[in-house]
């Protein structure tokens, strides 16, 4: 009994902390938009729930958050169907975004589960997604990922390959790409990377920009981000050091 009481109190404390996290993040986004002269409605907060269980996610849903990001298809497939079933009445669906790298052989699962995919970065994947989208009749919002720092270990298109890739998506794979995503190098100022991503999007007529994480989202908003992907700022530090 005592044990039960104790854990209930801790659960409530944790839940309060998490809701404070999302409230603080909403304030910071609103301030960032005000400073940049932008309407706050033009920035979508993607709450990155990778590695976290339903007990951590539920309070954030309860605080009104509707858009969540995951970086692994398998993890999302195991975790989200019950949450979606519980919290997505037909008039107000939760949105699930894939923000991590996608293998072509998981394109089928990704198209079936996700409402947006932020990591389209090569022809084989574009082709697999084009086929699955045609087959399933689902149309997730698509972002092409740009490796703005040309980091060898990182996913994404090299900036100089972006225009040709976007043309191939349109003309060969029947894919409608709506925006660009980037993850600036860890050890560099993010602003030039956001600026470059915005420039490539602009010259290709793309309206959406998925950029900005917990450490740099106000800068990203100043450079036109329409989707900021925040984990730590909402949920606290993750148990494992996934990037
Ligand atoms: C984990 C992750 C994030 C969130 O990172 P935080 O620093 O915790 O905000 C954003 N984007 C991608 C692609 C990620 O993998």
Give me the residue label for tokens 């050091």. Answer: 241
Ligand 1 nearest-atom number relative to CA 238: 8
The protein residue whose alpha carbon is closest to atom 15 in ligand 1 is: 243
Q: What's the gap in Å between 100 CA and the centre of ligand 1?
A: 9
Ligand 1 nearest-atom number relative to CA 230: 9
- State the pLDDT at residue 149: 98
Q: What's the gap in Å between 38 CA and the centre of ligand 1?
A: 23
72 in contact with ligand 1, CB cutoff 6 A: no
* Whole-angstrom distance, CA of residue 184 vs CA of residue 151: 9
Name the band, by pLDDT with cuts 50, 70 and 90, for residue 239.
Answer: confident
71 in contact with ligand 1, CB cutoff 6 A: yes
- State the pLDDT at residue 92: 75
- State the pLDDT at residue 143: 99
The protein residue whose alpha carbon is closest to atom 6 in ligand 1 is: 231
Q: Per the structure block, which two tokens stand in for 54?
A: 């339903």
* Whole-angstrom distance, CA of residue 109 vs CA of residue 223: 33
Name the band, by pLDDT with cuts 50, 70 and 90, for residue 18.
Answer: low
Check residues 237 and 184 and name the one with the higher pLDDT.
Answer: 184
Query: Once rounded to an integer, what is the mean pLDDT over residues 98-113?
Result: 98
Check residues 20 and 48 and name the one with the higher pLDDT.
Answer: 48
With CA atoms as reference, report the closest residue to 229 among 165, 186, 182, 161. Answer: 182
Mean pLDDT value across the chain: 92
Ligand 1 nearest-atom number relative to CA 50: 1
Q: Is 90 a residue whose pLDDT tops 90?
A: no
Ligand 1 nearest-atom number relative to CA 233: 9
212 in contact with ligand 1, CB cutoff 6 A: no
Q: How far apart are the first and last CA of the chain?
A: 40
232 in contact with ligand 1, CB cutoff 6 A: yes
- State the pLDDT at residue 19: 55
- What is the tens place of the pLDDT at every residue in 59-89? 999 999 999 999 999 999 999 999 999 987 7
153-167, 187-201, 227-241: least confidently modelled range: 227-241
The protein residue whose alpha carbon is closest to atom 10 in ligand 1 is: 229
Q: What's the gap in Å between 228 CA and the centre of ligand 1?
A: 9
* Whole-angstrom distance, CA of residue 123 vs CA of residue 105: 13
- What is the tens place of the pLDDT at every residue in 110-151? 999 999 999 999 999 999 999 999 999 999 999 999 999 999
* Whole-angstrom distance, CA of residue 173 vs CA of residue 166: 10
- For the chain, how are helix, strand and coil distributed in percent, rounded to 5? 50, 15, 35
Ligand 1 nearest-atom number relative to CA 100: 13
16-20, 142-146, 164-168: least confidently modelled range: 16-20
- State the pLDDT at residue 20: 59
47 in contact with ligand 1, CB cutoff 6 A: no
The protein residue whose alpha carbon is closest to atom 11 in ligand 1 is: 229
* Whole-angstrom distance, CA of residue 155 vs CA of residue 12: 39
């Amino acid at each position: 009994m005592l044990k039960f009481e104790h854990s209930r109190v801790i659960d409530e404390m944790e839940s309060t902390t998490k809701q404070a996290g999302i409230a603080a993040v909403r304030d910071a986004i609103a301030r960032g938009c005000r400073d940049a002269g932008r309407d706050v409605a033009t920035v979508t907060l993607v709450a990155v729930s990778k590695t976290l269980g339903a007990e951590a996610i539920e309070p954030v849903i309860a605080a009104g958050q509707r858009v969540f990001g995951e970086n692994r298809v398998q993890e999302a497939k195991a975790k989200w169907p019950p949450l979606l079933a519980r919290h997505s009445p037909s008039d107000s669906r939760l949105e699930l975004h894939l923000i991590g790298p996608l293998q072509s052989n998981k394109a089928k699962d990704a198209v079936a589960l996700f409402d947006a995919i932020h990591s389209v970065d090569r022809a084989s994947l574009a082709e697999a997604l084009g086929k699955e989208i045609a087959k399933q009749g689902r149309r997730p919002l698509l972002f092409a990922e740009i490796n703005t720092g040309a980091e060898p270990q990182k996913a994404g298109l090299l900036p100089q390959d972006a225009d040709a890739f976007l043309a191939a998506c349109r003309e060969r794979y029947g894919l409608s790409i709506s925006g660009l995503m980037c993850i600036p190098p860890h050890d560099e100022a993010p602003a030039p990377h956001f600026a470059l991503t915005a420039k490539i999007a602009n010259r290709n007529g793309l309206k959406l920009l998925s950029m900005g994480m917990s450490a740099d989202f106000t800068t990203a908003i100043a450079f036109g981000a329409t989707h900021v992907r925040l984990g730590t700022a909402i949920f606290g530090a993750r148990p494992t050091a996934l990037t």
